[in-house]
């Protein structure tokens, strides 16, 4: 018996959600296991840049981005999957998702360089550098560009209607466009994660929660603004009391 097209699209949406949730769960399991078993996670240490360390950082960053960003991208990816026709609908959805994750993985390169640079700055100056990063990130959260990017991320249907392209090139273009808007929306929070939080587990969970809340919950734009105000105030506090930078990075002050 023939299956109703609407029912088939619904099943495809459910299957897409299931696969992406499985990928997300595996990524989160890896992130949690790595951070809970790594004694150096979230600690200050001088990094010597090497190709091997850089590749390891980018690989770990890619997995972490899959864990943190896929949950909030699920509505967009599932809706895109529901629009596909034919027997090979998994291919465009997979291509869309891979492009999205690849761009986020690529951001691991500049984030690694930020980590290396920050680790090589003397402790007193590092605290002020962290304060500046917090204030800049907070100011961006309150900016017009943040609002524009966030609105695109919060409206999957509007995004697809405004950027629709057919074929595999269309999947590439759509995945790239969505990833750019997502990157424009969240880059400052990732900078805070690396700079102020030293990629500690508490910061990973906090930033992931803020990203998801901004994109999915009602009033997400207000959540973004509140986060911005909080980051600016935290940056000012670190500038006034530089010792707070150690606490943010999970380092106990020396007696």
pLDDT computed for residue 80 by the predictor: 87
Q: Rounded to two decimals, what is the model's pTM?
A: 0.87
More confident residue, 201 or 139: 139
| Burial profile 33-63: b = 16 or more Cβ within 10 angstroms, e = fewer | eebeeeeeebeeeeeeeeeeebeebbebbbb
Q: pLDDT tens, 59-114? A: 999 999 999 999 999 889 888 888 876 556 678 888 999 999 999 999 999 999 99
117 Cβ partners below 8 Å, 6+ apart? none
Q: In this predicted structure, what is the pLDDT of residue 164? A: 86
Confidence of residue 151 (pLDDT cuts 50, 70, 90): very high
Dihedral of the alpha carbons of 107, 206, 234, 47, in degrees to the nearest 10? -50
What mean pLDDT comes out for the span 143-164? Answer: 92
Query: Which residue in this structure is represented by tokens 């951001």?
Result: 107
Can you give the pLDDT at residue 148?
95
Residues 174-199 have pLDDT tens digits of: 999 999 999 999 999 999 999 888 78
Closest among 173, 178, 174, 130 to 155, alpha carbons compared? 178
Region for 250 from its dihedrals, namely left if φ exceeds 0, alpha if ψ lies in -120 to 50, beta otherwise: left
Residues in the chain: 255
As a dihedral over the C-alpha atoms of residue 90, residue 95, residue 97, residue 102, rounded to 10 degrees, the angle is 150
Question: Between 137 and 198, whose confidence is greater?
Answer: 137
Contact 127, 245 (CB under 8 A): yes
pLDDT of 108-131, one tens digit each?
Answer: 999 999 988 888 888 889 999 999
* C-alpha dihedral sign at 210, 214, 220, 225: positive
Angle between helices 90-106 and 167-195 (to 10 degrees): 30
* 165, two tokens: 């392209």
pLDDT tens-digit readout, 198-249: 788 889 999 999 999 999 999 999 999 999 999 999 999 999 999 998 888 8
């Amino acid at each position: 018996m023939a299956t109703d097209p609407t029912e088939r699209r619904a099943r495809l949406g459910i299957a897409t959600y299931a696969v992406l949730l499985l990928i997300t769960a595996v990524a989160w399991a890896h992130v949690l296991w790595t951070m809970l078993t790594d004694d150096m996670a979230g600690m200050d240490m001088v990094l010597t840049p090497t190709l091997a360390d850089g590749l390891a950082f980018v690989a770990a960053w890619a997995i972490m981005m899959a864990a943190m960003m896929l949950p909030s991208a699920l509505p967009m990816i599932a809706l895109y999957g529901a629009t596909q026709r034919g027997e090979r609908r998994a291919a465009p959805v997979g291509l869309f998702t891979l492009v999205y994750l690849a761009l986020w993985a690529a951001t691991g390169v500049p984030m690694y360089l930020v980590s290396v640079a920050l680790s090589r700055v003397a402790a007193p100056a590092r605290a002020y550098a962290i304060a500046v990063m917090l204030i800049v990130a907070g100011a961006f959260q309150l900016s017009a560009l943040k609002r524009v990017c966030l609105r695109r991320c919060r409206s999957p249907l509007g995004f697809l209607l405004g950027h629709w392209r057919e074929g595999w090139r269309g999947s590439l273009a759509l995945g790239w466009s969505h990833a750019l808007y997502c990157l424009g929306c969240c880059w400052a929070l990732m900078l805070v994660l690396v700079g102020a939080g030293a990629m500690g587990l508490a910061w990973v969970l906090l930033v992931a929660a803020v990203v998801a809340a901004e994109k999915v919950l009602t009033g997400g734009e207000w959540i973004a603004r509140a986060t911005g105000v909080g980051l600016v105030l935290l940056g000012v506090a670190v500038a006034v009391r530089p010792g707070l930078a150690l606490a943010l990075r999970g380092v106990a002050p020396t007696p």
